[in-house]
Structure formats: C-alpha cells, structure tokens
A and B are shown apart, each in its own frame.
Chain A
Amino acid sequence: MTVRIVVLAKQVPDPETPPSQFKVDESTNRVIPPSGVPPVVNGFDLNAVEAALKLRDAGTDVEITLLSVGTEFVLDAMKKPQAMGADRLVLVDEPGLDRLDSAGTVTVLAAAIEKDGPFDLILGGRQASDWDQAHVTLGLAEVLRLPLVSLVQKLEISGDLVQLQRVIPDGYQVVTAPIPSVLTISNEIGEPRYPNLRGIMQASRKQPEVFSIADIGLSMDDLAPKIELKRLYVPESNRQVELIEGDDEADAGRRLALRLREEKLI
C-alpha cells in the first residue's frame, strides 16, 4: 500500500537576507523583495519534507506531494523539495492568494486537499519564517476534522497507525495517532537533506500541477479576511550599547563584571 503524504509548503523571502536589506513598503504594507535574493521554500517546511523522506528511507512506500498556495511562484525555488525526493508539486496559483489571512489559506488548502486527496498524512512545518503564525496546519486539522499532533520530532508508520515523538518543553511524548492524521514537524526532526545532482535533474524535468481557485470549487468571496493588516513597519532600535574596553580582552571581561555589579545587575 502506498502511503500518500501531502506536505504543505510556502514560498517566503529568504530569511537569511541581511537585516540591512530588509525593507518594508509602508504604503502597501509589503516587504520589498531584496534585489538578487530569490525567495525560498520556508525552511521549516523542508523539515516536513525531510520527515516524509525519512519514512521512505525506513522502507515505507510513500508518495510525497508538495502543496502550496500563493502567486508569482519562483519554480526554481519551489522545486527544491522535488530535488530532495518529493514526487509531485501542486500549486494553487492566483493573484491575491499571497495576501490571504490564515483562515483564507486554510480554506484554500482544505479545498485543494479534498480535490487532490485522499491523503494518509498531512504534514506542515512548525511555522513560516515570514508571518511566524504557526497555526495554519493546526487550523487545517480542525477544518478537515482530522486528528492533530503538533511538533513531531520522530515518526514511524506501523500498519494503519503512526508512532510519533512530540516535543514538549522539557522532553518528549510518545504518541500514537491514526491514519489519516495531520502533523506539524519540528526542526528537531533533523536538517533537510541536500538535493543530489540526480534529484535536481529529475526535478527540472517535472512540471507542477497548477490549480486556480475555481478548479477547487472556491471563489474569492469564500476567502474574505477575518483579520486585516493595517500597518507593517520596521521598528526603530533606540538602544545604545555601552561597550566595555580594557587593556586587553581579559581585562575587558573583568571590567564587564565590575560594571554589571555597579548597575546592581549581578
């Protein structure tokens, strides 16, 4: 039996963009893409791709589908999961889909999963590095009425169950969930693998399957926001650091301790 896995993936501005190049257009409330720095697949979503690939490594027959909602996709970036080993790339692409609130995103994902499914496991990264909301996958489980386990660091399929380790603040829980279930994958799963040359060649030959929102039975009216962005800005940093110097670095260390005592901090 093939286990069908869908991994939710989002195209985001490269989070490694240097802070000096991070700029916001306050008239449109949008981040200005830094020149020469292409977008990437959200790094936490690659953790989820890695989790699916680990199941394949363990001998499970898996089919891995990447699903993304947005517009102006940069295919070179979006194909990275396929180069890592994912089988399919499904894009719901339409102008405006990059500006949905999380409720709208969940509605689109749920409709796309219904259209393209059924899937045995739905995996998401723990959060996206742009809006840091960390709840689209959780909301999707509610809308699809499927069991949910968040922050999974290890997974193994046995029959019609999936055995999991879930990260908790001071350790982990051993969890058994049914199939189908929705899982968010934590970065503790391990670094996403680097694509090899063969993977890159294969990915370059594959075409994404593209849906409009009409294809999945929705219209923009179904996606009205519950929460509206009013202002996006880069906060001023007004903190002035007091640099402690000394005769040499060791002396500076000593003076730092004395200065902290003077401030009654230690």
Chain B
Amino acid sequence: MTTVIVIAERDEKGEIVQSTRQAVTAASNLPDAQISVVITGDAPGSATSLPVGRVVTIAPIESTDNGIYDQATADLAALVSADSPDVVMFSKSDFGSVVGARLAFRIGAAFAPDCVEISGDASAAGTIGVTRPVYGGSALAEFEIASSPAIVTLRAGAFEPNTDTGAPVVESFDTDGLERKPVEVSESVAESREGVRLEDADFVVSGGRGLGGPEPFSVLADLAEVLGGAVGASRAACDAGWIDHSHQVGLTGKSVSPDVYIAVGISGASQHMAGCSSSRAIVAINKDGDSNIFKEARFGVVGDWEKVLPSFLATVRELKA
C-alpha cells in the first residue's frame, strides 16, 4: 500500500483545477494507492466527487494567509507530520513550487520538483522513483527516494486529468492558530490581460527572437483572436521588452498544453520547449530549417514569417467564417 496526499488547488470559482486532477491520475498509478486530497480552505466544493478515499479540509488558509503561503506551509507541515503519508504531491504551480519546497525542508523530507513520472511502492520496495527533465529539458534524470515522505511537484500536462467520480470521506483538520507573519503583502497588482488565459487556452500563438521587434506581436494577436486563443512568447522576446513577461512560455515562464501551439520565429531552445512540449500539436514557422523547433514540431513551414503568416491567417479566417 502507498499512502498519497494530493494538495489540491482551486480556481477563482472554487473548482478543482486540471493540474490537481492530473495529480490524482499520477497518484492512482501507484500500486494499491490510498489517496487523500487536501483542500486548503474550509469548503471542499467539487472535491467531494473526486475518485479518492478521503478529502481533508484545512481551516481557511485563503483568508488568513499573507499571500506568500507562510500559513499554508505551517498548516501542511502540521498535517503531513500527523498523517505520515508515503508521498505528498503538488502541482508545479507557484503555490506548489514554493510550499512543496518549504514543507520538505521544514520537516526534513526529500523533495523532487517538476516530475513527469512517478512509480514505486513505498511499502514493498521501500522506494519511490521519479523522473524529471534537467538541463533545461536536454536530459532526463531518474531518481530514487528512500526516505519518507517523498514530496514531489508534477509538471503540468505530464499526466492526463482524472475525470472519474467517487464518494470520498470528508474530514477536517484543525491547525493551531496563525503562523508568525513577518512578511506583509500590501497589494496585488494585476497586469492587463485581455481574452483567454494563456494557461487555459486551446490555441497558443507564440513569437520569439525571429520576429525582430514588438510590432509583429499584433499579427500574432490577430491570429490568436481568430482561433479563440492566447499569445505567448519566448524568453528572448520578453527580455527584449517586445512583450510583457506575463506572456512568457518556458521553464521560467508559463507551462501551456494547448491543442495547437503555433511557434513563430522561435528557435525551440529546450528551456522554451519545457513550457510547451505537452501541447497536442506544435506548428512551427521559422526561416531556419535547421532550428531545433522542427525536431519538436508536428507540422512546419520553413520560411519567412512575414510572408507565411498573412496567408495562413487569411486562410484560417476563411475556414472559421
């Protein structure tokens, strides 16, 4: 038997996010898994129909946390210490990356971030195995974790979301009061965002260094609008100031897994591919036929985007009309 705690995340409407459903899949793949889903907040909401044994709610973190997860770290450390699971799973989100690491070091557990595979049987073999991309995705590394619990974060899109339903037992876990909060968040500033959220988009149109400047991003935005998608960018384009960093796709930006990822003027460095390689289909437009993006793409045109893109956009418009 392998006991697993999945730390759930929810969207603004309180619904369980896809990446949490992906974690449930990863947990279910472990032999004889006994899964608990932990909700950081007092209302379990849609978690009560997840196909797991138990749902645990923790006193309302969202209303007491200072926005940088000090309270969540303290509460989860108390829960995990009391529950002694074999594995604790987070999504590789801002929340999961920070809280997972802090939790592991607070309780002296092993931490493996950004995993794309997890296997093993904690009780029989005594070890959990994980695979994670390293060197910006140029290599894969397989690790063995012998100490318990193993705390992991999972890369978005590495597992299919579990859409089954079940009837878990719902429990609540009380923590003893507030964490000391030396850090104060006074304000959250939303940067302007129009249309579909990049992480949720079915179509992403991304531009890179090959675009040569900020202006071409308006053509990409037109294409994204026609497709009902969002605009992404490589780190090079963001660092050059052509488009805001909130559009950045890649290892240090957002992870996206749309149906179609259209990469325009992007060379396809492994650091960029780390953020989009789980797309259903990658389509590349690049004038350098030797660039790495064509090794990752399913469809491609070797050519100058200034000539290829307008006719592509016009044809998509006709097809959509």
Contacts and interface: CB of A to CB of B under 8 A. Distances in A.
Nearest to A184: B98
A233 B139 contact: yes
A227 B134 contact: no
Contacts of B165: none
A159 to B, nearest CB: 14
A170 B102 contact: no
B20 to A, nearest CB: 16
A169 B254 contact: yes
Contacts of A132: 114, 132-136, 251
Interface string B285-317: 100010010111111111110011111111110
Q: How large is the interface on B (under 10, 10 to 19, 20 to 34, 35 or more residues)?
A: 35 or more
A54 to B, nearest CB: 16
Prevailing SS type, chain B contact patch: mixed
Interface in A207-255: 226-235, 237, 239, 241-245, 248-254
A232 B141 CA distance: 4
B101 interface: yes
B110 A227 contact: yes
A138 B98 contact: yes
Chain A interface SS verdict (over half): mixed
A129 interface: yes
B193 interface: yes
A58 interface: no
A17 to B, nearest CB: 9
A244 B138 CA distance: 27
B299 A241 contact: yes
Interface stretch (B23-31, B35-43, B46-54, B182-190): B182-190
A248 to B, nearest CB: 7
A150 B144 CA distance: 28
A257 B301 contact: no
Nearest to B308: A253
A176 B135 contact: no
Nearest to B141: A232
B235 to A, nearest CB: 7
B129 interface: yes
Interface in B129-177: 129, 132-136, 138-147
Contacts of A226: 109-110, 145-147
Given A241-B300, A250-B307, A256 B191 contact: no
B146 to A, nearest CB: 7
24 contacts: A15-B135, A126-B252, A129-B135, A129-B136, A131-B135, A135-B97, A135-B100, A135-B101, A139-B104, A170-B190, A170-B197, A176-B186, A186-B252, A187-B235, A226-B109, A227-B145, A228-B145, A243-B289, A252-B301, A253-B303, A253-B308, A254-B312, A256-B308, A257-B319
Interface of B: 67-68, 94, 97-98, 100-102, 104-106, 109-114, 129, 132-136, 138-147, 182-191, 193, 197, 199, 203, 227, 235, 239, 245-246, 251-252, 254, 259-260, 270-271, 280-281, 283-285, 289, 292, 294-304, 307-316, 319-320
Given A44-B252, A256-B285, 16 more contacts: A15-B271, A19-B292, A22-B135, A169-B199, A170-B191, A171-B188, A176-B183, A176-B184, A176-B186, A186-B252, A188-B245, A227-B111, A228-B144, A230-B143, A234-B139, A256-B312
